[in-house]
Amino acid sequence: MRTMWRILLIALLICAFGVISIYSSTYSKEGDFWQTLFLRQILWVAMGVAVFFMMARTNYRRLWDWTYVIYGAVLFLLLLVVIMGIVRLGAQRWLRLAGFNLQPAEVAKLGIIIFLAKYFSKKSIYDVSLPTRSFGIFRGLIVPLMFVTVPAALIVDQPDLGSGALVFAIFLTMIYLSNVKFRFILIVLLVLLACVPVGWSMLRDYQKDRVMVFLNPNTDPLGAGYTAIQSKIAIGSGGLLGKGWLSGTQSQLRFLPESHTDFIFATFTEEWGFLGGAALLLLYYLLIKEGIAIAEKTADQFGRLLALGISLMLTLQVSVNIAMNMGLVPIVGLPLPLMSYGGSSVMITFIALGIVVNINRTRAVF
Amino acid sequence: MRVKIFHLTAIGMLTFLLLSLFSMQVVRGRAYRSLSDKNCIRLIPQKGSRGDITDRNGTVIAGSAIAYDIVILPQEVAQIDKTLIALSRVVGIEPAQLRKNFRRFYTSPSMPVTVLKNVDKEKAMRVEELKLDLDGIIVQSLPLRTYPFGKLACHVLGYLSEIDHWRLMKLEDYGYKVGNIVGNGGVEEKYDYYVRQEDGGLSVEVDHQGRFTRVLGFRSPQKGKDLQLTVDWRIQKIAEDALQDFRGAVVVLDVFTGEIMALASAPAFDPSAFVARDMLSINRSFTDPAAPLFNRAISGSYPPGSVFKVISAYGALDRSKVSPETTFYCPGSAQIGRRQFKCWGVHNDQSLVAAIAHSCDVYFYRLGLLLGGQAIHDYAVKFGLGKTSGVELPYEATGFIPNPIWKKLYRLQKWYDGDTANFVIGQGELLTSPLQLARLMAVFANGGNLVTPFIVKAIGGQDVTAGHKRVVPLHLKPAALRSVKEGLRQVVADEQGTAGMLKSAPVSIAGKTGTAEINKVDAHAWFAGFFPYERPRFAICVFLEKGGHGYQASMLTKTIVEMMFQEGLL
């Protein structure tokens, strides 16, 4: 019980940081849409907390039963994006559902984690020990890869390279954590490496630009490199203590694009400095650690993998987003969980945290 | 095991991010901070005006007026073409020209673009009216140097231009920047640091599109300090008018204080052409063989001719080589060494006073040989020749006084008696500036004190005369001084005096003419003297480059003195 409140407290603290940063980044923008954006985020957080409690009370073994339904729903949503998605910022990533925009790629990440957790914890009725160790390349690698590739390909096609790559990273780490033979993972890595030249030719122009700009942001300071440069300036100029709330010139004067979504970390650290940034990183670590600790205590393989997968998802999203804010990796469209404005991301993260809480609560049953 | 590795990897990744964050924000934070400031802070300069330059009575001879620039603030303009067409109708300039200017000077939406410079007041007011209908037009007033008297005292003032690389290097530490307007030549250069304005400006914050968001700071521009000169514009005008058709210079000094009452050099240039950037006229000033930008009164070095005789006259009396009663016989020429040295006439017996009055060369050949070349040099130095006078104008020439040692060292030749003969009558290598000769005459006029000429009386209303160099007493022998002075008077008063025509001048003048032959055909004409003789006030030196006989210079002196008398300046 105490674990639940601890997780909720950490998550809400991060959300609070997010809301004040969204408020700050939209402060100088005119119009009702911008001025009420932080209120919407508060609404999303409130709904997220409700879902969190709901999931915390729902036995996570239900997910085991519903796995293929969830997987099917993910595919359906992704296909729906292809057919009737909303094009925004040059990419077709959003679905308009019941008055709000849903980003199915967010749902897909969690769906794939659930699917993989189930796949690697299935037991035969004849042998109750875990079979993953003895999986051959076909059952240990090819089959799950096929199941992951279908949604991942749909995501990459949107195009959302960041989420696509994230799904593959989740897949690789999940098979690693499932005790599948290590050489299989090496094989996948080598194949991926070999695919780089092919993949390069398949990238869209703006994606190539982003990679080139990442290698040298000054090649195009006003075009594709603009965001990378402005984000680095925003973070760096924050200094130790920051410029103060509502006083970050980079975000207030709109030098920094996407300052309330993907680049919220830059907005936050510009105004709150290194101390704020370090506090935020600490909170994320505590959240991730809760998931891992619960996984270690859980005997049920499905619950264990699920909790690990959710921690993994958080780790990867947080690291990639912050690294991209600091110009350490190319810019991809990944939100910072619980910080960035956006309903899909907030809801999915709270659902995932609710699942983790429930695993902690129900594990004693087994 | 694998879970532990995963846990450690997660810790490692987050720690790496934390360290990167530390390096960006704390280690390199300052550099990023300045980048972020550069992003959003813009400076909009506002020009101040240079200090006025007035004559001794406060009449402005270089002032500043307001020029109107028409400026467009791009972020306020809805349709730039419409605005420019409306503007062109008012000021009467082709819209295409305005569009070209606009495009050339455009930098960002928040930075004002000057589309027209130097519009007159009437048009500026009509543009003001236009502002009611169209946004984004600004009429900016900009102070510009004006010269109410045109070319008057142009060499004293100097001209204004953009700072050059060389001076920028020298003056960077004093707050000078690229594009600053600085004075060149004259007091504008010498006192530039005082006269120059302090530009003010606005620092504003702009957003990512360069649009103005708020004012961060404002400093009002400051006018430079006013300079009050010792020059009297009326005397200056008389001198310049007299010089109009010549190349030459006129210097008028106060004999007791060294204040420069007038300092004219001809031909003159028009300093307002530099303000208006009239390139044609500027180029002409630079390429004209008559060198109008050259200040002949202080920067020119010329052989002084017979004016120089007064120095050896005093020297010989001082060293008792001759007495006022000593006479030499002038048969029209003298044999010195192996050469025949001519006199310009036949003067028979000449005493010192008569020899000065008649400018008898033979007398001075004899006197010079008694005195010797080195002694003449020493007396010339004593009277302030061969070095700068210390006037606070830039580019003052030292002139040159030859002497036996110099000839030995630099020409590797012996100093012959013939050299002394040439030297004593002011020919040969000897060079002086008109200002030096006026100063020399002041010594005889004020009873033996060497004054330091100066031209700035007050800076910013504060009297600076006390700060100038003191008058130096030369401790001359009164009797010798009296004899030379008498000689100077006789130049004018004597029947055969070389400047006899000055006798009819309204005040009594004393002085010495000079005709310095520079080749077979041409000679510089000089007259240096002081007036009134009985109670001296002004020392004057008139110099005409290739002006012929000293007679010409005396004529000019007469005109100047007469005009001064008429204007009630005596």
**How many Cβ atoms from other residues are within 10 Å of residue A100's Cβ?**
12
- Beta carbons of A235 and B13 less than 8 Å apart: no
Q: Supply the pLDDT for residue A164.
A: 86
Does residue A119 sit in helix, strand or coil? helix
Q: Give Cα A262 distance to the centre of its chain.
A: 11
- Beta carbons of A240 and B25 less than 8 Å apart: yes
Q: Beta strand B227-229 with B53-54: parallel, antiparallel or unpaired?
A: parallel
3-state secondary structure B348-387: EEECHHHHHHHCCHHHHHHHHHHHCHHHHHHHHHHCCCCC
With beta carbons less than 8 A apart as the criterion, state whether B524 and B468 touch: no
Q: How does B122-140 read in b/e, with b if 16+ C-beta sit within 10 Å?
A: ebbeebeebeeebebbbbb
Distance in angstroms (rounded) separating the CA atoms of residues B112 and B102: 10
Say whether the ipTM exceeds 0.85: yes
Q: Which two tokens stand for residue B320?
A: 């008792």
Per the structure, the count of domains in chain A is 1
Chain B residue numbers with beta carbons less than 8 Å from the beta carbon of A236 are: 24-25, 28-29, 31-33, 35-36
First to last CA, chain B: 113
Q: Give Cα A167 distance to the centre of its chain.
A: 9
Q: Give Cα B299 distance to the centre of its chain.
A: 9
Q: Which residue has the tokens 């060292």?
A: B409
Q: Which two tokens stand for residue B406?
A: 């110099």
A176 touches chain B (CB under 8 A): yes
Distances from the Cα of B554 to the Cαs of A81, A221, B305, B392, B498, in angstroms?
105, 75, 14, 28, 9
What average pLDDT does the segment A183-187 reach?
Answer: 85
Distances from the Cα of A211 to the Cαs of A328, A340, B356, in angstroms?
11, 23, 96
Chain B residue numbers with beta carbons less than 8 Å from the beta carbon of A234 are: 36
Q: Beta strand B181-184 with B60-72: parallel, antiparallel or unpaired?
A: unpaired
Chain A residue numbers with beta carbons less than 8 Å from the beta carbon of B109 are: none
**How many Cβ atoms from other residues are within 10 Å of residue A286's Cβ?**
15
Chain A residue numbers with beta carbons less than 8 Å from the beta carbon of B208 are: 253-255
Distance in angstroms (rounded) separating the CA atoms of residues B543 and A174: 103
Which of 277-316 (A) contact B at CB < 8 A?
Answer: 277-278, 281, 284-285, 288-289, 292, 295-296, 308, 311-312, 315
- Beta carbons of B3 and A177 less than 8 Å apart: yes
Distance in angstroms (rounded) separating the CA atoms of residues B198 and B176: 10
- Judged by phi (left if over 0) then psi (alpha if -120 to 50, else beta), residue A327 lies in left
CATH class assigned to B233-566:
alpha beta
Taken in order A251, A254, A256, A258, the sign of the CA dihedral is positive
- H-type alpha helices, B226-321: 233-243, 271-275, 279-287, 296-299, 309-318
Q: Beta strand B227-229 with B248-254: parallel, antiparallel or unpaired?
A: unpaired
First to last CA, chain A: 18
B28 touches chain A (CB under 8 A): yes
Does residue B273 sit in helix, strand or coil? helix
Q: What percent of chain B has pLDDT over 90?
A: 60
Q: How many Å lie between the alpha carbon of B91 and the closest alpha carbon of chain A?
A: 37
Q: Beta strand B137-146 with B113-119: parallel, antiparallel or unpaired?
A: unpaired
More confident residue, B544 or B136: B544
Distance in angstroms (rounded) separating the CA atoms of residues B199 and B118: 19
Q: Supply the pLDDT for residue B200.
A: 78
Highest averaged pLDDT of the listed ranges A63-67, A281-285, B180-184: A281-285
Distance in angstroms (rounded) separating the CA atoms of residues B27 and B37: 18
- Beta carbons of A274 and B36 less than 8 Å apart: no
- Beta carbons of A285 and B10 less than 8 Å apart: yes
3-state secondary structure A311-329: HHHHHHHHHHHHHHHCCCC
Task: Tell me the pLDDT band of B250, cut-offs 50, 70 and 90.
Answer: very high
Chain A residue numbers with beta carbons less than 8 Å from the beta carbon of B29 are: 236-240
Chain A residue numbers with beta carbons less than 8 Å from the beta carbon of B10 are: 285, 288, 292, 311, 315
Q: Which two tokens stand for residue B116?
A: 């027209």
Q: Which residues pair with A101 in a beta bridge?
A: A96
- Beta carbons of A253 and B207 less than 8 Å apart: yes
Chain A residue numbers with beta carbons less than 8 Å from the beta carbon of B33 are: 236-237, 239
For A258, the domain range is 2-365
Please provide the DSSP assignment of B85-129 as one string: HHHHHHHT--HHHHHHHHHHH---TTS-EEEEEEE-HHHHHHHHH
The chain A residue lying nearest B15, using CA atoms, is A281
With beta carbons less than 8 A apart as the criterion, state whether B233 and B468 touch: no
Q: Supply the pLDDT for residue A352.
A: 95
Residue B22 identity: F
The chain A residue lying nearest B10, using CA atoms, is A315
Chain A residue numbers with beta carbons less than 8 Å from the beta carbon of B7 are: 289, 292
Distance in angstroms (rounded) separating the CA atoms of residues A169 and A148: 11
Chain A residue numbers with beta carbons less than 8 Å from the beta carbon of B2 are: 176-177, 179
Does residue B444 sit in helix, strand or coil? helix
- Count Cα neighbours of B270 within 13 Å in the Cβ-side half-sphere: 14
With beta carbons less than 8 A apart as the criterion, state whether B528 and B556 touch: no
Q: How many residues does chain B have?
A: 570
Least confident span in A205-214, A282-291, A314-323: A205-214
Q: Supply the pLDDT for residue A129.
A: 65
pLDDT digits (tens, 9 = 90+) for B330-366: 999 999 988 999 998 899 999 999 999 999 999 999 9
φ, ψ of residue B485 in degrees (nearest 5): -60, -40
Q: Supply the pLDDT for residue A188.
A: 82
- Beta carbons of A254 and B35 less than 8 Å apart: no
Q: Of A177, A249, A281, which has the smallest distance from its Cβ to B18's Cβ? A: A281
Model confidence at A218: pLDDT above 60: no
Mean pLDDT of chain B: 89
A235 touches chain B (CB under 8 A): yes
Q: What percent of chain B has pLDDT over 70?
A: 99
Model confidence at A221: pLDDT above 60: no
Q: How many Å lie between the alpha carbon of B32 and the closest alpha carbon of chain A?
A: 5
Task: Tell me the pLDDT band of A222, cut-offs 50, 70 and 90.
Answer: low
Model confidence at B104: pLDDT above 60: yes
pLDDT digits (tens, 9 = 90+) for B498-526: 999 999 999 999 999 999 988 888 999 99
Task: Tell me the pLDDT band of A213, cut-offs 50, 70 and 90.
Answer: low
Chain B residue numbers with beta carbons less than 8 Å from the beta carbon of A312 are: 6
Q: Supply the pLDDT for residue A338.
A: 93
- Beta carbons of A238 and B29 less than 8 Å apart: yes
The chain B residue lying nearest A242, using CA atoms, is B25
Mean pLDDT of chain A: 85
B8 touches chain A (CB under 8 A): no
Does residue B505 sit in helix, strand or coil? coil
pLDDT digits (tens, 9 = 90+) for B414-455: 999 999 999 999 998 999 999 999 999 999 999 999 999 999
A318 touches chain B (CB under 8 A): yes
CATH number of B44-229: 3.90.1310.10
pTM for this prediction:
0.63
- Mutation for A interface: B25, B34, B204, B209, most A CBs within 10 A: B25
Task: Tell me the pLDDT band of A97, cut-offs 50, 70 and 90.
Answer: low
Q: Of B17, B207, B213, which has the smallest distance from its Cβ to A281's Cβ? A: B17
Least confident span in A158-167, B327-336, B477-486: A158-167
B39 touches chain A (CB under 8 A): yes
Model confidence at A274: pLDDT above 90: yes
B132 touches chain A (CB under 8 A): no
Q: How many Å lie between the alpha carbon of B102 and the closest alpha carbon of chain A?
A: 23
- Beta carbons of B21 and A173 less than 8 Å apart: no
- Beta carbons of A255 and B207 less than 8 Å apart: yes
List, in order, residues 6 or more apart from A257 with CB less than 8 Å away: A226, A227, A230, A263
Q: Which residue has the tokens 């007011």?
A: B125
- Alpha-carbon Rg of chain B, whole angstroms? 33
Q: Which two tokens stand for residue B70?
A: 């028409």
B32 touches chain A (CB under 8 A): yes
A225 touches chain B (CB under 8 A): no
